[in-house]
Amino acid sequence: MKKHKLTSGQQEELNYHTVKFNKRDPKTWVNNNYRRIITEDFGVKPDFFVNKSILDIGGGPGGGLYFSPFLKTKKRVIIDPLVKEFEELLKDFKNISGDVETIVGHAEDMPFSDGSFDLILSFNSLDHWDDWKKGMDEAIRVLKKGGKLLLYVNFYRPAKTDAHPHYIDEKSIDWIISRGLSVEFSKLKLHVKESGKKVKKYFGIFKKL
Ligand SMILES: C[S@@+](CC[C@H](N)C(=O)[O-])C[C@H]1O[C@@H](n2cnc3c(N)ncnc32)[C@H](O)[C@@H]1O
């Protein structure tokens, strides 16, 4: 794999995931996290995805599409600046979906024409984008009219690090909605980490008008 120079934020991201994945057994490890996020946190049934063209922005190594082979989709694409590094990290893992197309790229400038996808997922990634407003406008551009955006993002304070350049909060969500979406579902969930730190997790389903 051709190596490219990583920014400090990307290096922080990659180190974090490498430590986590190196502790797992690639033959047996199954990630049930995404089934829970989809069916319990967003409250949608797997048939919500049937025959849909889906883009996961910032899919990362644990992305909603890799670990959701139970979803019967038409097309699954992940765009992420580190996707090739993550493929390397996942190469021996068995319980992942093999039919994901991966594209190295950024939310802020995506190589897709307008209205290319029925569904866009972005899980725990928006606060990692350099210019999240530009990225969100791009996400809305590549979504079909009537298509849905499933957004999960942490309202994290005070964890601003190189890998998390922004705080996202209620005002950010209002801004996103103002770009031409209607809200179909929205939920804030308080999560207490093992360290005792509290994180507010936001889950929203939006429809493109
Ligand atoms: C915390 S990980 C989340 C990964 C995955 N979605 C999940 O839920 O496990 C954040 C991801 O956002 C990606 N990312 C960072 N900047 C990005 C950008 N500008 N556009 C798209 N993805 C980006 C990172 O490479 C990383 O994979």
What pLDDT score was predicted for residue 70? 67
The domain ranges of the chain are 8-208
What pLDDT score was predicted for residue 114? 98
Tell me the whole-structure pTM to 2 decimals.
0.92
pLDDT at 17 over 70: yes
What pLDDT score was predicted for residue 95? 73
Give 37 Cα–ligand 1 centroid separation in angstroms.
Answer: 16
Q: Looking at ligand 1, which residue's alpha carbon is closest to its atom 19?
A: 129
pLDDT at 98 over 80: no
Enter the tokens of residue 62. 């644990």
Enter the tokens of residue 111. 């190589």
Using the atom order of ligand 1, give the atom closest to the CA of residue 58. 22
What pLDDT score was predicted for residue 4? 67
Give 126 Cα–ligand 1 centroid separation in angstroms.
Answer: 7
The CATH class for the domain spanning 8-208 reads alpha beta
Strand order in the sheet with 198-208: 100-103, 75-79, 53-57, 117-123, 143-155, 198-208, 181-192
Give 178 Cα–ligand 1 centroid separation in angstroms.
Answer: 24
**Residue range 21-49, pLDDT digits in tens:** 899 999 988 777 888 898 899 999 888 88
What pLDDT score was predicted for residue 158? 55
Q: 8: burial class by Cβ within 10 Å (0-12, 13-18, 19+)?
A: exposed
How far, rounded to the nearest angstrom, does the alpha carbon of residue 97 sit from its chain's CA centroid? 16
Supply angle C-alpha 180, 183, 187, rounded to 5: 140
| 3-class SS of residue 82 | coil
Q: Where do we find the tokens 């400090």?
A: 8
Listed range (52-56, 65-69, 144-148, 154-158) with the worst mean pLDDT? 65-69
Ligand 1 pocket test, candidate residues 82, 125, 138, 168, most atoms within 8 A of CB: 125
Q: Looking at ligand 1, which residue's alpha carbon is closest to its atom 4?
A: 60
Q: Looking at ligand 1, which residue's alpha carbon is closest to its atom 10?
A: 125
Distances (CA, A) of 20 to 38, 58, 82, 126, 197: 22, 18, 16, 21, 19
Give 208 Cα–ligand 1 centroid separation in angstroms.
Answer: 22
| 3-class SS of residue 43 | coil
**Residue range 151-188, pLDDT digits in tens:** 999 987 655 666 666 788 999 999 999 999 999 999 99
Mean pLDDT of the chain: 89
The model's confidence at residue 100, banded by pLDDT at 50, 70 and 90, is: confident
